[in-house]
Structure 1
Amino acid sequence: MMRGALSPSVALAILTCGPALAAETFALPQGCNAFVTIQSHSCAVEHYFTCESDPEGIKRRVSLGEDGLNFVGSTDRDAQWLTSFYPFTDHREELESSPADPASLSELLAKGVDTYDFQTNSDEIGLTRYVGEDRLTGRTVIIDDVVLQQTDYNITAYGPDGTELWSSAGNEFVNAEWRSFIGGTTTVTSPDDSFDKDDRPVQFIFPGEPGFLSANPKFDCGAVLSSAPALTPKEISNDHL
C-alpha cells in the first residue's frame, strides 16, 4: 500500500463514525484530531485532520454536503493527493508511485509556479492522467481572519486511451501554514457540458469554537447545481492536487 494511503480501517472508521442524518457534529476515528473546519460556498463543510497512525506530513480531509459525507481524501506534505474516496459511488483513486512531474506545493511557494503531470489508478476506469499548472497571482486574501494566497490554475484529465475527459480552470487559495490548497472559483468543461462552481471558504472554525466539526453545511444550500462529470479531488473543492 502506498505511503499515506487510506487504509481500510481508517476508511471504515470514518464511514461508521460519520454523522447520522440528524447528527450535529462529525465524529472522527479514534486517534485522529481535526485542526480546522471550513464552511464554504456550494453547500459544503470540510474538516481537515491528522491521524496518529499516519506517517508525518499526511493530512486527511472529509467533505459533507446536504446529503451527508461525499468525499474522503489524504494528501502529503507537498499537497499531493494520495487517495480519494467518494462514498456515494464507492469510487476510489490512488496516486501512481512515480509521477512524471509530481505536484509540489514547495515549488509553488518557492518559485511562484508549479507544473504537474501524474496519474491516478482506480478499479473502475484504470489510469487517469492529470496535466496542469498552479501559479501564484501575488494577491493575498484574508477570509475570516485567515491569510490565504490566491492561485490561478488549469488542469486537464485524460482517460486510459488518451481521450480528454474534462478540463478545469480558475482560482484557488493556498494556506502555507497548513500546506494545503483550499477551494475557489472554477469553470469545468467536458465534451458535453460546461459549468461554474464557487467553493470559496466563508468561515474558518477552530477547536473550541462553535460549529467546529459541524456535520451541517451552512451556505448556498438548497440550490440546484449543474451535474458534473466524474468528479476528482480538483472539483471537490480542495483543495487540489
Structure 2
Amino acid sequence: MRAALILAVLAGPAAAGSFTPPEGCTTFLTVQSKGCRVSNHYTCEADPAGDKWRADFDQEGMFFLSRVNNEGEWVESYEVGAGTKQVLVPGAADPASFSELLARGRDDYRFNLSTDGAAPTEIAGHDALTGSNIVIDGEPLQQTEFEYSETGPDGTLLRRSYGNEYVSAKWRLFFAGPSQWDGGQGFLPLDGSPVKFSESGEAGFATTQPIFDCDAVMSSLPISPMPQEALSHDNL
C-alpha cells in the first residue's frame, strides 16, 4: 500500500521541475545521463536499511520508479505509463550480491520476477568487474561487463542484454553504460551512461529536466530509442 501511495505522489501533476520525494524520504543524488534521462535517487525512513529508490524522468515527466536493496537486488518497480508493477519473488536460487561483486570481482545471479501477480519469469546472468576504473564528473566508478537473459514460465526467451555498466562503491549503485539489448526483434545498441552527478547543494540537484541527447531523441522515431528495461542493471 505504501509503495502505491509513493507512486501516486510522484506521478502527480507536478511531474516536472524540482523533484520532491514522498514524506519521510530524502533525495541524495541526481544523475543526468545520456539518452535524455535524469534520475533522482532517494531513501525512505520506513524502508529496510540500505534500500534505495530511483525515479526516472524524460522530457514528458516520470516514466519509471524502482527500489533496490543494499545488495542491488530488484525489490519492486513501476512503469508509470503502463501502470504495471514488478516485484522480486522471494527465495531466489542465487540472489544478486553487490558485496560479492566488489569482493570477488564477479557475481552470478538467478532469480524470479512477477509482473502484476502473473506467473514469474526467470532472470539469469552475471556482473563482473573489468579492472578498469573511470572518473565521470569527478566521481570514481568501476567498469563492469554484464550479460543476462529473461525467460518465461514455459522457457521462452523474452529478452536479453549484454555490455558494460559502472558501479559506485560510495553509493552502492549501478549505472548504465554502452550495451546491446534484445526484446525479441534483434539487438539494439544503447548507451545510458551517466554524465553529471549532483548531490545536495550542487547545481542540478533534484531537477526533473533531462539535458543530454534530448534533441536527438526528439528528432528520432516515435518509438523510444532506449527501452526502460535496458537502462541499467537495476532495470532488469
- Same fold per superposition (TM over 0.5): yes
Name which of 86, 96, 103 aligns with 1:110.
103
Distance 2:121 2:228 in 1: 12
Q: Note the C-alpha offset of 1:108.
A: 0.4
Q: How many residues align?
A: 232
Partner of 2:55: 62
Matched, 1:15 2:2: no
Q: In terms of mean alpha carbon deviation, does 90-99 or 7-16 score higher?
A: 7-16
> Do 2:175 and 2:232's aligned partners in 1 also have CA atoms closer than 8 Å?
yes
Task: Please say if 1:158 is aligned against 2:154.
Answer: no
2:166 aligned with 1:173: yes
Matches within 5 A, 1:25-36: 25-36=18-29
Q: What is residue 91 of structure 1 aligned with on the other side?
A: 84
Query: In structure 2, what is the equivalent of residue 183 of structure 1?
Result: 176
Residue 39 (structure 2) aligns with = 46
- Residues 190, 226 of structure 2: 8 Å contact kept: no
- Superposed displacement of residue 15, structure 1: 2.2
Q: Percent of counterpart pairs with the same letter? A: 37
Q: Could you tell me which of 202, 214, 218 is aligned with 2:195?
A: 202
Matched letter for residue 159 of structure 1: G
- The answer to whether the 8 Å contact 2:87/2:113 transfers is yes
TM-score, length-scaled by structure 2: 0.91
> Distance in 2 between the 1:124 and 1:229 partners?
26
Residue 174 of structure 1 contacts residue 180 of structure 1 at CA under 8 Å; is this kept in 2? yes
Unaligned ranges ≥5, structure 1: none
- Asked if structure 2 preserves the Cα contact closer than 8 Å seen for 1:155 and 1:169, the reply is yes
- Give the deviation of 1:9 after TM superposition: 2.4
> Partners in 1 of 2:97 and 2:67 — Cα distance?
15
Q: Is the 8 A contact 1:190 1:229 kept in 2?
A: no
Query: Separation in 2 of the partners of 1:153 and 1:132?
Result: 7
Note the residue ranges of structure 2 that are not aligned, 5 or more in a row: none
Q: Which amino acid aligns with 2:202?
A: E
